[in-house]
Amino acid sequence: MEFTIEKLVRENIRRMTPYSSARHEFAGEAAIFLDANENSIDSPVHLVVTGKDSSLQLNRYPDPLQHELKEKISRVKGVPAENIFLGNGSDEAIDLLFRIFCTPGKDNVIIFPPTYGMYEVCAEINDIEVKKVPLLSNFQINLEALEQTIDQNTRLIFICSPNNPTGNSMNREDVETILNNFDGLVIVDEAYINYARQRSFIPELTEYPNLVILQTFSKAWGLAGLRLGMAFAGLPVIEYMNKVKYPYNISTATQQLALAALEMVPTVNNWIQATEEQKSRLQKELGALSFTQHIYPSDANFLLVKMKEAKKVYDYLSQKGIVVRDRSRVKLCEDCLRITIGTIEENNQLTDALKNYPA
């Protein structure tokens, strides 16, 4: 299967000239910056990041390509900095892939429902057809149905692994089969990879020019409020993402806070461990409830739980002030609730409430 990026990129994107910022055009070392119409005096707020002696300089525009942060992510993830794109959450990367590679009203993408909702939302916003190939009853990819569905206008295939809301990882060989046989982009969304037994596809990046891996600071890293997502891909894909993104898409505050977070790898690993322990505990306690019908195996920080009349359980929990995700009307997830693993105390309250549920 031959992968040629120029055949994949939208005509208008291929031809356009990207925005060139003041800092883009000047390459040397300077002491006085009078090129970007910033307020040279000061910024009205000062943020001191843990481990930094000085406060952030917010009156200046941020580094458009986030060099320092990418160097650090590169060391943590084992991906060359030039193969990293950073966005305002993974959602920015997802949206950019549509805008770069899919022509509205003409091209289509493939998703495997039940899965993460943003792929379809982004497709609709961009007027791109979504072809759905439902997962098999074991929540794995239906390769035969996929083969029937791909056509000459299929540009992107989204594989969420571990998958939200089903919690399982996709069979590695199936993902490789798709990577080997599809000449569009294969996006492997690894938002929950830190909780998975399966390893990341990062080592495969050098082998597959059509592979895009998404990861995020929103889950295991504990920074959902910061809005920082990562995409890892071959240079041609990353270059187009940089060409189309907003010039200053990641704020100075976000860059500095993420740099500080990346010093905390051992703490994050402890949290992952603690979450795994609480997951095992919830599997046991929820499994013992008379109205629990099935708990699906989970490679993520949530459990998909099939319960007798799940909607009623959902309403009962809501009324106790505990909100879980009702997936009971989602195909293949009938009567299922998706429950995020909480803190010990939150999980105590959840299990106490459920033990008192009048089943």
Ligand X SMILES: *Cc1c(COP(=O)(O)O)cnc(C)c1O
Nearer to ligand X, 224 or 323 (CB): 224
Rounded distance between C-alpha atoms, residue 350 and residue 326, angstroms: 15
Rounded distance between C-alpha atoms, residue 79 and residue 175, angstroms: 20
Place of tokens 């799940």: 310
Shortest Cβ 319–ligand X spacing (Å):
26
**From 98, 101, 112, 116, residue interacting with ligand X (rule: CB under 6 A):** 116
**From 89, 167, 184, 234, residue interacting with ligand X (rule: CB under 6 A):** 89
Q: Which stretch binds ligand X (CB under 6 A): 35-43, 83-91, 130-138, 263-271?
A: 83-91
SS (H, E, C) the chain: CCCCHHHHCCHHHHHCCCCCCHHHHCCCCCCCCCCCCCCCCCCCCCCECCCCCCECCCCCCCCCCCHHHHHHHHHHHCCCHHHEEEECCHHHHHHHHHHHHCCCCCCEEEECCCCCCHHHHHHHHCCCEEEECCCCCCCCCCHHHHHHHCCCCEEEEEEECCCCCCCCCCCHHHHHHHHHHCCCEEEEECCCHHHCCCCCCHHHCCCCCCEEEEEECCCCCCCCCCCCEEEEECHHHHHHHHHHCCCCCCCHHHHHHHHHHHHHHHHHHHHHHHHHHHHHHHHHHHHCCCCEEEECCCCCCEEEEEECCHHHHHHHHHHCCCCCEECCCCCCCCCEEEEECCCHHHHHHHHHHHHCCCC
> Does the footprint of ligand X cover residue 160 (CB under 6 A)?
yes
How many residues at the interface with ligand X, by CB under 6 A?
A: 13
> Does the footprint of ligand X cover residue 91 (CB under 6 A)?
yes
Shortest Cβ 260–ligand X spacing (Å):
18
Shortest Cβ 156–ligand X spacing (Å):
14
Shortest Cβ 29–ligand X spacing (Å):
35
Tell which positions 211-250 bind ligand X, by CB under 6 A: 216, 218-219, 224, 229
> Does the footprint of ligand X cover residue 90 (CB under 6 A)?
yes
- Under DSSP, is residue 338 helix (H, G, I), strand (E, B) or coil? strand
> Does the footprint of ligand X cover residue 189 (CB under 6 A)?
yes
Shortest Cβ 79–ligand X spacing (Å):
17
Nearer to ligand X, 210 or 216 (CB): 216
Nearer to ligand X, 141 or 160 (CB): 160
**From 141, 170, 191, 205, residue interacting with ligand X (rule: CB under 6 A):** 191
> Does the footprint of ligand X cover residue 299 (CB under 6 A)?
no
Buried b (16+ CB within 10 A) or exposed e, 30-61: eeeeeeeeeeeeeeeeeeebeeeeeebebeeb
Shortest Cβ 206–ligand X spacing (Å):
24
Shortest Cβ 216–ligand X spacing (Å):
3
> Does the footprint of ligand X cover residue 114 (CB under 6 A)?
no
> Does the footprint of ligand X cover residue 210 (CB under 6 A)?
no
> Does the footprint of ligand X cover residue 164 (CB under 6 A)?
yes
Shortest Cβ 224–ligand X spacing (Å):
6
The residue nearest ligand X at its CB is 89
Q: What is the DSSP letter of 253?
A: H
Nearer to ligand X, 58 or 188 (CB): 188
Nearer to ligand X, 14 or 325 (CB): 325
Shortest Cβ 220–ligand X spacing (Å):
11
Q: Which stretch binds ligand X (CB under 6 A): 77-85, 87-95, 232-240, 339-347?
A: 87-95
Whole-angstrom Cα Rg for the chain: 22
Rounded distance between C-alpha atoms, residue 281 and residue 304, angstroms: 14
Nearer to ligand X, 58 or 241 (CB): 241
> Does the footprint of ligand X cover residue 161 (CB under 6 A)?
no
Catalog residues that contact ligand X under the rule CB under 6 A: 89-91, 116, 160, 164, 189, 191, 216, 218-219, 224, 229
